[in-house]
Amino acid sequence: MTAKYYAAVRPRLNENHAVHKEGCPFLHDDENSIYLGEFRSGQDAVNESQRFFNRTKGCLFCSEDPPLSDNKPTLSERVIKDIIPAKIEIPISSHPNLFCCLN
């Protein structure tokens, strides 16, 4: 079964052009999207869109990628212990009258 796919002309904040399936609520109007054709998978549409744009990705909403797992990592699993110290040490300045002003 095939579906119609479109590529957004304007890139997202991450500089990737989104590829949307027909019916996606995030699909832009005709002026802001390029019709790519009918494809069996979203990855085929992304490959076609790379003929127009260097950086393209499938839409997070309508892509055929499996949904994210509900198993969220705990805080201790998310914290990289080598980068974030367990105890933060604040150095005490020897200049108590020195302060910084920002405009």
Per residue in 52-79, pLDDT (tens digit) is 999 999 998 887 655 555 666 666 666 6
Give domain status of residue 85, yes or no.
no
Task: Answer yes or no: is 13 within a domain.
Answer: yes
Q: Read off the pLDDT of each residue in 4-32 and give the average, rounded to a whole number.
A: 88
CB 63 within 8 A of CB 49: no
- How far, in Å, CA of 30 to CA of 38, rounded? 16
Residue 38 lies in a domain: yes
Residue 83 lies in a domain: no
Structural domain of residue 36, as residue ranges? 3-58
User: What predicted TM-score, i.e. pTM, was given to this entire model?
Assistant: 0.60
Query: Considering its fold, how many domains does the chain have in total?
Result: 1
The answer as to whether 76 is a domain residue is no
pLDDT for the residue 12 = 84
24 vs 66: which has the higher pLDDT: 24
